[in-house]
Amino acid sequence: MIARVLIKPKDGILDPQGKAVERALPTLGVTSVSEVRVGRMVELHYEDRAELQSLCEKLLVNPLIEDYEIEDAGE
Amino acid sequence: MKFGVLRFPGSCDEVDALLACRRVADAEIIWHGDDDLGDVDAVVVPGGFSYGDYLRVGSIARFAPAMERVLEFAAAGGPVLGICNGFQVLCEAGLLPGALLPNEGLRFLCRQVGVEVVDAETAWSGASRTGDVLSIPVKHTTGRWFAPPDLLDEVESNGQVVFRYASGENPNGSLNDIAGVRNERGNVVGLMPHPEHAVDPLTGSTDGLRLFESAVRALAVT
């Protein structure tokens, strides 16, 4: 199975990367986009869903500062 | 008395840390793949970019075989100091509270800062007095100490803040100007500033030596 683990900074945590992207928007003439948050995406193949879950909590994500979700991405 | 200084792939401050330790005691390098800390009495986890800082800073280094031994060493009360990337590693390993986030200004910072000793009772601060302001450099991109509100309250009310940036000198947006914290027992301390780079008058300050002297003193008492 293939999964995509989507990781982003927890709500309320200042995300300077997102702010930097936001600051570039006016120079592009973009006016309808706001509240940018920059995270990470980890794509991987797995067999055991429980093991994947535990990998997320042990290594891929720091639950103090990040939220994540696992998205199925095919067989 | 002997210090052990860890070396991960990507460490870059381990030699300065080793030389700083050797000004006050014996010291040797411990390779990250070693499953044994040898006969060291105190451990320094140095700065750098362990494992390339891939994924998150410090996140992969915490699973190194030598780090498993450091966890046991710390649990037994052994003095452990994490500097910069070493601080990030100790936070990721759960030895210290909080996490380090990218600097508020997103830029790499390299400058001398005033670091106030808030708690002079730990294994790594006993050679200072509470209120002393040490002149020590910072150099990092990911040094903004953060904890969710309930954890921050706990750290403050337990008195686990060891170092704060002097008033007006917080370089990175760390909560409550926190530059370094300790575990509840006080044997494990981590900080973003680099005491090992402030040990010789040639580079402007010898204040960093106090941390290494503190460990020698703490071990002499026990």
Rounded-to-integer distance, Cα B193 and Cα B24, Å? 20
Q: Which of residues 36-75 of A touch B (CB under 8 A)?
A: 59-60, 62, 64-65
Domain residue limits at A54: 2-72
Residue with tokens 């926190």: B178
Q: What is the pLDDT of residues A15-46, one digit of tens each?
A: 988 999 999 999 999 999 999 999 999 999 99
Q: In CATH, what number is assigned to the domain containing residue B8?
A: 3.40.50.880
Say how many domains are in chain A.
Answer: 1
Judged by DSSP in three states, B220 sits in helix
Q: Residue B182: which pLDDT band, with cuts at 50, 70 and 90?
A: very high
Q: Are A21 and A36 within 8 A, CB to CB?
A: yes
Cβ-based contacts of B61 with chain A (< 8 Å) = none
Q: Residue B106: which pLDDT band, with cuts at 50, 70 and 90?
A: confident
Residue B185 has pLDDT above 70, yes or no: yes
Q: Are B164 and B136 within 8 A, CB to CB?
A: no
Say how many domains are in chain B.
Answer: 1
Q: Are B82 and B45 within 8 A, CB to CB?
A: yes
Domain residue limits at B51: 2-221
B196 is catalytic: yes
Q: What is the pLDDT of residues B74-101, one digit of tens each?
A: 999 999 999 999 999 999 999 999 999 9
Rounded-to-integer distance, Cα B199 and Cα B181, Å? 21
Look at A64 and B63 and tell me if their CB atoms are within 8 Å: no
**Partner residues linked to B110 by β-bridges:** B139
Q: What ipTM describes this predicted complex?
A: 0.83
Residue B62 has pLDDT above 90, yes or no: no
Cα distances from A44 to residues A39, A52, A75, B103, in angstroms, run: 17, 9, 11, 30
Mean pLDDT of chain B: 96
* Token digits of residue B12: 């870059």
B82's enclosing H/E stretch is strand B80-83
The confidence score (pLDDT) of residue B222 equals: 63
- Is B98's Cβ below 8 Å from some Cβ in A? yes
Residue B147 has pLDDT above 80, yes or no: yes
Instruction: Taking residues B118-139, report their average pLDDT.
Output: 97
Pick from A10, A14, A17 the residue to mutate for testing the B interface (most B CBs within 10 Å): A14
Q: What is the pLDDT of residues B188-215, one digit of tens each?
A: 999 999 999 999 999 999 999 999 999 9
Look at B146 and A62 and tell me if their CB atoms are within 8 Å: no
Nearest chain A residue to B60, by CA: A59
Helix runs in A1-75, H state only = 16-28, 49-55
B32 is catalytic: no
Q: In CATH, what number is assigned to the domain containing residue A49?
A: 3.30.1280.10
Cβ-based contacts of B99 with chain A (< 8 Å) = 62, 64-65
Q: Are B76 and B43 within 8 A, CB to CB?
A: no
